Chains A and B, each alone.
Chain A
Amino acid sequence: MAKICAVEKKIKINGKEIIVCDETRSKLLCVLQEIQDKKGFISDVDMQDVADKFGIHPVEVYSVVSFYSFLTNKKKGKYIIRVSTCITCEMAGSNKLISDFEKLLKIDCGDTTKDNKFSLEKTSCIGMCDQAPAIMINDRLIGNVTKEKIKKILKELK
């Protein structure tokens, strides 16, 4: 049988030896999410630590970190602003929202402010299409976003 996941262990069921994936590997994403939450990014040292813990190669941890868009190995701002650019939000003016944010924060989309407070990113559909245009600030979903609303939100967070 082909290898299903990297870490396998042998167990005996009814006297028959079978190979299963190690349960702990399944927790890899949970652990990475925890680090991301705590520090805002996952450093090379973290990846090495995690790899040691799970008994896998650090490159494998990196391959997982780099796959998921909410995990990053670069330091980002305290608040990550994600603007949905999917079709419904685009029709409702998400491009305009991005340029409003860019002007107000004085950064380009994809960058972080100098005080490490805000990062600005595009994201795919966030499931708020009935209230387009919508954004996410960290975990918070915000719909029906206007320039006035943006100003108010940024003021609150500053």
Chain B
Amino acid sequence: MPKTKSAKNNDKLIIFSDIEPFSGIKKAIQSGRRDVLETVRDSNLKGRGGAGFPTGVKWNLAAAATSEKKYVVCNADEGEPGTFKDRILITEHAKLFLEGMIIAGFAIGSDQGFIYLRGEYRSFLPILEKEISLLRKNNLLGKNILGKKGFNFDIELRLGVGAYVCGEETALIESLEGNRGEPRNRPPFPVNTGFNGNPTVINNVETFANIPHVITKGAEWFKSFGTDKSAGTKLLSISGDCKKPGVYEVPFGISVKEVLKLCAGQDAKAVQIGGASGVCVVKKDFNRKIAFEDLSTGGSVIIFGKRRKMLEVAGNFLEFFKEESCGQCTPCREGIPVLTEALSLLKNGECSKEYLKDIFSLAETMELASKCGLGQSSAKAFVSIINNFKDEYNLLKSDNKRKVFNG
């Protein structure tokens, strides 16, 4: 078992604030399904995986769906470079998100939950197994939970096998069904046609960890944190060139500058928000805020010190995407190698202004035409780095080498 470092800041905001274990389920059972659904919707809680889809809407849709079978899936497949918040949640706060899952099961009328745990976190499996068997013993999982007749729910653990793309919700479902983890076309969305074609609510570990607090302490309390459009807090996984890397819980609306102060990384020349599929923020933009309406992130914050060569960073991200692209759709599969080639031209000073224009237009195509979030965001970091660090490369003046993009 590796040493896991607890959350770094002592602020107990939402996730790490005190709560009596399982008070959320008790309150949910007392107040009923409709109340739970309303509270989650009123809280404006949005998906913490990065996409930010309103959790309340998802739950209400699944609850409204008529089906014999419904599923609750916890997406514990965090694979975005620079993300490790789920590691802390799983090893130290497992009760919290498990409770969130049970509440979800109650709210939408599901009797079966899955945790899709990334293969890299396999050593944490015993922790989850132990917690789940404790829940079963205490009638918090199983039949007629806490004496509520007809409230049956159980959780099955499934392991991922080392594919980043399976963090995408439809790819995760494919993987749960025993297929290659290739994303599906959306719509239909999992909330209607999910696991085995049944309505399925998929939420991030962190989203589920918020739920018991929302139910126990109320939507208004939850909304007192964060901004108008981004209620609550975010767990940030901070790494790179700073003195105090780790997991921090911060209210939405915090500026990049403040984040750097927290982790003692003030010397940064740039910060990557959102991992390989996020954007690179440079010093002049350090007043930008972490929130769904500005810099949206699943939690990854990577700090680059003064001596870092940013084209190398872009190269590392492209390498990552080359490795992790599922290869299903053309813009992503074919686009990434072309960007990689362009990057090496840029490094060698062999790229012309015109060719770079073509490359940017290709990046736009990748963003528009790729099927899933991975493909759509695979060029994002590249574009923001090339745009922000013009002083780290020279463009060819005359365009004698390459006139048009013929990729």
Asked whether A88 and B302 contact (CB < 8 A) given A29-B161, A69-B163, the answer is yes
Contact status A129-B162, CB under 8 Å: no
The minimal Cβ–Cβ distance linking B154 to chain A, given in whole angstroms, is 15
Contact status B177-A25, CB under 8 Å: yes
Contact status A86-B163, CB under 8 Å: no
Interface segment, one of B115-123, B212-220, B283-291, B330-338: B115-123
Encode contact with B along A97-126: 1 for CB under 8 Å, 0 otherwise: 000000000000000000000000001111
A133–B5 alpha-carbon span in the complex (Å): 15
Residue of A nearest to B159 (CB): A33
Number of A-B contacts (CB under 8 A): 148
A87–B78 alpha-carbon span in the complex (Å): 16
Asked whether A130 and B161 contact (CB < 8 A) given A25-B177, A26-B196, the answer is no
A71–B162 alpha-carbon span in the complex (Å): 8
**Which B102-159 residues sit within 8 Å CB-CB of chain A?**
118-123, 158-159
Contact status A28-B82, CB under 8 Å: no
**Which B177-206 residues sit within 8 Å CB-CB of chain A?**
177-182, 193, 195-197
Contacts of B119 in A (CB 8 A): 70
Contact status A29-B175, CB under 8 Å: yes
Contact status B196-A129, CB under 8 Å: no
Which residue of B82, B182, B304 is within 8 Å of A86 (Cβ)? B82
Encode contact with A along B311-347: 1 for CB under 8 Å, 0 otherwise: 0010011011001101000000000000000000000
Contact status A29-B158, CB under 8 Å: yes
Encode contact with B along A1-40: 1 for CB under 8 Å, 0 otherwise: 0001110000001000000110101111110110000000
A136 contacts chain B at the CB level, 8 A cutoff: yes
A47 contacts chain B at the CB level, 8 A cutoff: no
B294 contacts chain A at the CB level, 8 A cutoff: no
A136–B158 alpha-carbon span in the complex (Å): 20
Contact status A91-B241, CB under 8 Å: yes
B298 contacts chain A at the CB level, 8 A cutoff: no
Residue of A nearest to B123 (CB): A139
A66–B272 alpha-carbon span in the complex (Å): 32
Residue of A nearest to B247 (CB): A130
The minimal Cβ–Cβ distance linking A109 to chain B, given in whole angstroms, is 14
**Which A45-76 residues sit within 8 Å CB-CB of chain B?**
54, 63-64, 67-71
Residue of A nearest to B175 (CB): A29
Contact status B316-A141, CB under 8 Å: no
B169 contacts chain A at the CB level, 8 A cutoff: no
Which residue of A54, A67, A90, A139 is within 8 Å of B180 (Cβ)? A67
Interface centre among A29, A63, A88, A142 (most CB of B within 10 A): A88
A28–B78 alpha-carbon span in the complex (Å): 22
A128–B80 alpha-carbon span in the complex (Å): 12
B84 contacts chain A at the CB level, 8 A cutoff: yes
Contact status A30-B158, CB under 8 Å: yes
Which residue of B80, B159, B178 is within 8 Å of A125 (Cβ)? B80
Asked whether A124 and B81 contact (CB < 8 A) given A86-B320, A130-B245, A142-B2, the answer is yes
A141–B121 alpha-carbon span in the complex (Å): 8
Q: CB within 8 Å of A: which residues of B? A: 2-3, 5, 68, 78-84, 86-87, 118-123, 158-159, 161-164, 175-182, 193, 195-197, 237-241, 245-247, 272, 275-276, 302, 304, 308, 313, 316-317, 319-320, 323-324, 326
> Lowest 10 A-B CB distances belong to which pairs?
A28-B178, A129-B239, A68-B161, A70-B162, A69-B162, A86-B81, A130-B245, A67-B180, A125-B81, A70-B161
15 sampled A-B residue pairs with Cβ under 8 A:
A26-B178, A54-B178, A63-B180, A70-B119, A85-B316, A87-B82, A87-B320, A88-B81, A88-B82, A123-B162, A127-B84, A128-B87, A129-B81, A129-B245, A140-B2
